A and B are shown apart, each in its own frame.
Chain A
Amino acid sequence: MAAVMPAPAASRLLMSGNEAVSRAVWEAGTKVAAGYPGTPATEMLEQLSTYPDMYTEWSVNEKVSLEVAIGASMMGSRSFSAMKHVGLNVASDALMTLTLTGVEGGLVIAVADDVGMSSSQNEQDSRFWGRFAHVPILEPADSQEAYDMTRYAYELSEEFQVPVILRLTSRICHVKGLVTVGERVEHQPKGFSKNAERWVMVPGHAKRRIPLMFQREQELKRLSDRSPLNVLEPGTDRRVAFITSGPAYMHVREAFPDAPLLKLGMSYPWPLEKVAALVEMADAVVVVEEVEPILETELKAAGFAVHGKDFLPRTGELAPEVVKPAVERLLRKEAAPAPESAQALPPLFPRPPTLCASCPHMGVYYTLSQLKNLTISGDIGCYTLGAGHPWNSLDSTICMGASMGIALGMDKGRGEADKNKRILAVIGDSTFMHMGMQGLLDITWNRGNVTILLLDNGTVGMTGGQNTPANGRDIRGQGAPRIDFRKLIEALGVKPERIHEVDPYQLPVLFKTVRDETKIDDVSVIITNRPCVLIEEFKPFKPYVVQEDKCTGCGNCVEVGCPAIHVTRRDRVVKPSGKEVDLAFTRIDSVACTGCGLCVQPCAPEAIVHFAPAGQVISIQPV
């Protein structure tokens, strides 16, 4: 993306939380920003890459992105690192020592929790990092606050020489609201000052930094009690008071407009004096926190009789329709939560996410679904969808890069029951570079027997198609060195003859390669080489149609799993053998079809042909 002219100061813009954070990072004079794509955090770096006068990068993983930010901060520059909640698990090794060295240039880490799990493998509460790493947590409740708090986070970071965590959730990142923006202020880096006792964390140096860290935390505690970010709103309804933060604040205010409330903008360290003042304002106090009862537990330990997760759910978003009935039960003094009210609507079919028409992963999963006796360790990306219908060809997903180590563990841990199983691992190009390479090295070094499918589609597909070292473009779309997977994999110890590059649209070749390699007791890597359909490298082919008079209803094309294939009629026939067979006659949505030809190959009667053979015009049937 090319840099664009940012909107002038004092403009009032409709911005998502991610856009607002990015604007503030830029305005703060930040010199270096790095991140790894992940829902709901992705748009922060995407937006930042459109701003001028600063360096941005997609890093290969979150740990590297934080390390890049730390390096920039050591030089005295302001820096930024953004990631989703699970990304900070990866980056936490750096964080837990960064908290000892502290920062020089302001360093802000934006971490986005996928509360309710729209697109994640787990749900985590990133506020825990505040206590764990002894660093302040700022929690905006809407886009304007996301902007304001990001600007403030840099001042706080530099005043206390501390990394500041900006805790966001999906309901901040992706909600748009009006934001009044300001001007960019240039920030001059002071320059690196050589100081081993500060920057080289060996035990002797670290021991001297620990008391400084605790002293800093005490000062931040005092700040929290006087900070204007922690607002005590008196209210008139004395029945119940609330302590809340982030988007839950808006939900509580919507549900209980007149209740006394303590809104925590700085949610770590906790402002206990303000809590004590709030407790005097009502008969009961409810802590409304999304995900974990962190503050509730802490307040109970400090002697405050508060409610929280005894009435509110432990998972998902605390929307007004969740908070209101829960608190009303408390006010009626009902001990246990009432059962959820019955769903008002008749249950409808689900719409699970699917692979796109012409997705190269479809060829891989169709192939795997046709092979027997496989155990397939999977990874994080679009290809996790291979666990779904119709393929059912992925047996585990844990975290980024885990397919490698898990496959090795499956191989080494198998007993008699699994001795004939073929162990496979499926991983995408970006996930491989994020954390899979080390796992592959472990497999080769320890002589594992695993067949690896490296699905190289040249992008981070699941988050919308970000650039990676596999497509030779950087975050701004400029040409950059492109990784050679074959060389890399060979360097990691895989024999050259066990590395194959295959076109995933050529089903017979793919089938034969997978079948042959799984029979060999050695490490093999099969690289598929078609681009994601969402990126510019993908060029659509001519669409196909099903010739109605030739379709025999075999249903083989439906098993490919393409969303462009639709069943027009079902039937059941009895074969001469007496066996009952279900038939599904199909058509192809020619607007959605991009002509990959995957469905053509298993079609028994060869009924699938190009949409418009020479000179012939076929009218499009409306969907």
Chain B
Amino acid sequence: MTDTTNILVCGIGGQGVMTATEILSEAAIAEGHDVKKTEVAGMSQRGGVVTSHLRFGKKVLSPQIAPGTADVLLGFEAAEALRWSHYLKPGAMALVNDARLVPPVVELGLFKYPDDPIGDMRARGVRTASFDAATIARDLGDLRLGNTVMLGAIADQLPFSADVLLACVVNRFARKGEQVVELNRKAFAAGRAAAAQAATPAAA
């Protein structure tokens, strides 16, 4: 099953992890791949951890990505990216929104949130491109564009052209009118640029 591409998307409930993975799936299907996508999200609506596994290739068997076999990690939250970084293949890339979403158990003083989760990932040898998706989205005028920023960020790490993914994003928002589509195009481009900039050695 060596032709299978494994993409792990992680974050917390309500951030749009499942929707982003759905759009990535649509792009893989458009490229003619067999696709399986899985998550366990029973209680995630209540602020829990969400991971979404996407596997595509000629023929996909198990829907689950085994630790150490992910080709790319898309992290919607800094500590969650760290939590799942051991799923990456050695030398594979993590694209991480550096948002810190601190749960009540940490606010109550029962647990500690890591001081620098992105730094911890790099210390573990993970190639990490981090950026602030919320600020990018807000600068474009709408926090909800964060999801598209994230998709833009992963677009150059896929085994197919970024335009295929962009077309799926556009398709998703087409019925909301040209203005919304245009904003999402901009968000996608901004995410792409942010990831590219963060991935250069100088920035890392």
Binding site for B on A (CB under 8 A): 14, 39-40, 114, 116, 118-120, 142, 170-171, 174-178, 247, 250-251, 253-254, 257, 317, 319-321, 344-346, 348-356, 382, 385, 389-390, 462, 464, 534, 558, 561-563, 565-567, 570, 582, 584, 586, 591, 620, 622-623
Complex Cα spacing A462 to B46, Å: 9
- The 8 Å CB contact of B134, one of A353, A385, A623, is A623
Additional A-B contacts beyond A118-B41, A562-B104 (5; CB < 8 A): A119-B42, A344-B86, A348-B114, A385-B46, A591-B143
A371, chain B: closest CB distance, angstroms: 20
A534, B29: Cα distance in complex, Å: 32
A118 and B79 in contact, given A558-B107, A623-B101 (Cβ under 8 angstroms): no
Tell me the minimal C-beta distance from B31 to chain A in angstroms. Answer: 13
Contact B62 A584, beta carbon cutoff 8 Å: no
B residues 108-154 touching A (CB-CB < 8 Å): 108-114, 120, 132, 134-135, 138, 143
**CB atoms of B34 and A178 under 8 A apart:** yes
Residue numbers of B with Cβ under 8 A of A are 1, 12-13, 22, 25-26, 29, 34-49, 60-64, 66-67, 79, 82-83, 85-86, 99-114, 120, 132, 134-135, 138, 143
**CB atoms of A250 and B61 under 8 A apart:** yes
- Is A250 a contact partner of B62 (Cβ separation < 8 A)? yes
Evaluate whether A254 and B61 lie within 8 angstroms (CB atoms) in the complex, with A354-B46, A462-B43 already known: yes
CB-CB nearest in chain B for A322:
B66
Given A354-B47, A464-B45, A319 and B66 touching (CB < 8 A)?
Answer: yes
Chain B residues with CB below 8 A from A346, complex form: 120
Question: Could you tell me if A119 and B43 are in contact, using CB atoms closer than 8 angstroms?
Answer: yes
Q: Write out the residue numbers on chain B whose beta carbons fall within 8 Å of the beta carbon of A317.
A: 64
| Cβ contacts under 8 Å, B120 to chain A | 346
User: B100–A623 contact, CB under 8 A?
Assistant: yes
Question: Please, could you name 27 A-B residue pairs with CB atoms under 8 Å apart, sorted by A?
Answer: A14-B25, A14-B35, A118-B41, A142-B36, A171-B64, A174-B41, A177-B60, A177-B63, A178-B29, A247-B62, A251-B62, A253-B61, A254-B1, A257-B1, A320-B66, A345-B82, A345-B85, A349-B103, A356-B46, A389-B104, A389-B110, A561-B104, A562-B104, A563-B103, A584-B109, A622-B138, A623-B100
Nearest CB on B from A591, distance (A): 7
Task: For B132, list chain A residues within 8 Å (CB).
Answer: 622
The answer to whether A14 touches B47 (Cβ under 8 A) is no
Closest A residue to B132 by CB, please name it. A622
Other-chain contact of A566, B37, B49, B102 (Cβ < 8 Å): B102
Kindly name the residue among B38, B39, B42 whose own CB sees the greatest number of chain A CB atoms within 10 A.
B42
Taking a contact as CB atoms under 8 Å apart, the answer to whether A177 and B35 are in contact is yes
The residues of B that contact A350 with a CB separation of less than 8 Å are 105, 111
* A349–B104 touching, CB < 8 Å: no
